A = this chain, B = another copy of it.
Amino acid sequence: MGEQEKVRWLTAEEQRAWRGFVRLHERLGGRLGRMLQSESNVSAADFAVLVHLTDTPDGRQRYQDLARALEWEKSRMSHHIARMAGRGMVVREECPEDGRGAFVVITDTGRAAIEAAAPRHVEAVRELFMDHVTPSELRVLAELSERVISKLDEDQA
């Protein structure tokens, strides 16, 4: 009953890429998040929600749609929106057409928050990332990401 010897461990090159990739995201994410938090009093999650709300004409989105867009669990959405509502950035609104449903609606406070935060955030993404990556590398990254994500989606089903 020999062990399964067939594990193909990662090569040095593979490890290098994998670790680099993971670490890069952790670092960038951490830095950008702390930056948003300290300079604009908005967490990365808040920011993502606000961006999606301002993407719609009336700043309103169903919980469900927001959750799908951000790829969050509904429960996370519910808790998070409750907290944001507590801080006045959004309000919850009943949905007339569907008695179960509800809308998340951005408030003026929310708009002010994201308008203050966005320029600094984009600038940071440029300074910390874009400025150090060539257009061709960017293209490789985009293609690679999309391909792998679509594979993930495939065998999800």
Contact = CB atoms under 8 A, between A and B. Distances in A.
A1 interface: no
A142 B17 contact: yes
Number of copies: 2
A122 B71 contact: no
The interface size bin for chain A is 35 or more
A152 B127 CA distance: 10
A16 B20 CA distance: 20
Contacts of A31: 152
B125 A18 contact: yes
B119 A148 contact: no
Interface string A116-152: 0011001101101110110101111110111111011
